[in-house]
Structure 1
């Protein structure tokens, strides 16, 4: 699906840009990642300023983590927002390698 055809309010993995995206009326929210062998390293999350604190970032990260889980991939949460989300939602902790959890504060 091209970005122009991307339905609003649906999270989409833009593999070419290496980021999960969510188009909103206020602009694009995204979670950038890099493939890291059998894992996905999340490096940065950004939400339009008008939407900060309204759950858009959480919705985006939840979809990205669900996708990683469905693919059987581990997650390296270098992005503080992704790490904090995993810390608040322990069901995703299994996606983080146990050796990395301490370093991430999880």
Structure 2
């Protein structure tokens, strides 16, 4: 059986503070972040039910974290999915910062203001 589907594409959308994963031009999911003092704080990852079970969340997060490395920022994994991903992928350990009460307080204020 031949599949005509194109490979998923990950895009950073700075205006919306997120990375989106597109399948055949449709948004299949996203991981949301806010930037803080050289850190990219990831706080939510979501894949549409229509696209579940295809490994898209893993691909999305991998591409997002790779982009963070290229940008020179550090990762703060508030999002449970990103945190779980990092426990299995130690290639990002050197640029990962812990989630602290200060980060959580800052993130709450950021999200309340937007």
Shorter-chain TM-score bucket reads: 0.7 to 0.9
More helix by share: 2
Structure 1 unaligned residues grouped into runs of 5+? 1-6
Superposition RMSD on alpha carbons, in Å? 2.2
What pairs with 1:58-77 in structure 2 (closer than 5 Å)? 58-77=58-77
Q: SS at 2:69's partner residue? A: helix
Quote the residue 2:83 is aligned against. Answer: 83
Which of these two proteins has the greater Rg computed from alpha carbons? 2
- Taking structure 2 as the reference length, the TM-score comes to 0.74
Number of residue pairs matched by the alignment = 95
After superposing on structure 2, the runs of 4+ consecutive aligned residues of structure 1 that deviate more than 3 Å are none
The more displaced of 24-33 and 85-94 is 24-33
Q: SS at 2:16's partner residue? A: coil
Question: 1:17 and 1:44 mapped to 2: Cα distance?
Answer: 13
1:13 aligns with 2:12: yes
- Taking structure 1 as the reference length, the TM-score comes to 0.80
**Deviation sequence 1:20-59 (CA, Å, 0-9, x none):** 0012257431000001110000010000113223210000
